[in-house]
Every structure is written in C-alpha cells, then in structure tokens.
Amino acid sequence: MKIKIVDKTTNDNSKEWGYGTVLKCWGSNPKKFSLFKISRAEASGKDSYRLDTLHDQSAHEDMVWDKKYSDISSLKDDLSKYFDHVMRVKATIIIEYL
C-alpha cells in the first residue's frame, strides 16, 4: 500500500474538529510533519476519539498514536504537548494497492 501526499494546506483552521477530520502536525520544520485522522475509539459505547496515523514525520509506516480521548478538547490539549503546530486540513484520502 502506498500513500501519496499532496499538500495544499491553507490557514483556514476555523472549522470544528470531529470524526474524519485530518490534522497536520509539526514542530519547527513544516516539511517534517505528521498527518492524523480523528476516529471513533472502538471499545467505547459512548462518544470517544482516537487518532489514526496517516503519515508519520519520521516515515515509520507502523507508527500508532495509542491514546483515547473522551472529548475533542482533551485531544487538542494532548497534541499541543507534542507539536508546535496543529492544523485542520482539507483532505481526500485515497488508498491504492500497488
């Protein structure tokens, strides 16, 4: 499986975060970034969130964000501990088997 990244990031970060939102996160170098998708945590019967890693800044394809969150504000707070910049991006995810 191969993921192709076409970066068309804009500064429109005004929309709310929710299930399916794709986040671009980086430190001081915007060319070294990670991409995450907000998903529902499977094991919970109530609203809960987790991050699916789409692209890891260090290019480890098996990287996992192994945390679950009860609300979006907890997720935002946690991401701000690890990254200097966290931005919602408009994204279309296409998965191709080569």
Domain residue limits, the chain: 22-89
pLDDT for the residue 75:
94
**Structure-model confidence comparison of residues 64 and 13, the more confident one:** 64
| Cβ neighbours, 10 Å, residue 91 | 19
38-43 CB contacts, 8 Å cutoff, 24+ apart = 38/72, 38/75, 41/68, 41/69, 43/68
| pLDDT digits 0-9 by tens, 2-56 | 656 565 555 555 578 888 899 999 999 988 999 999 988 876 566 689 998 888 8
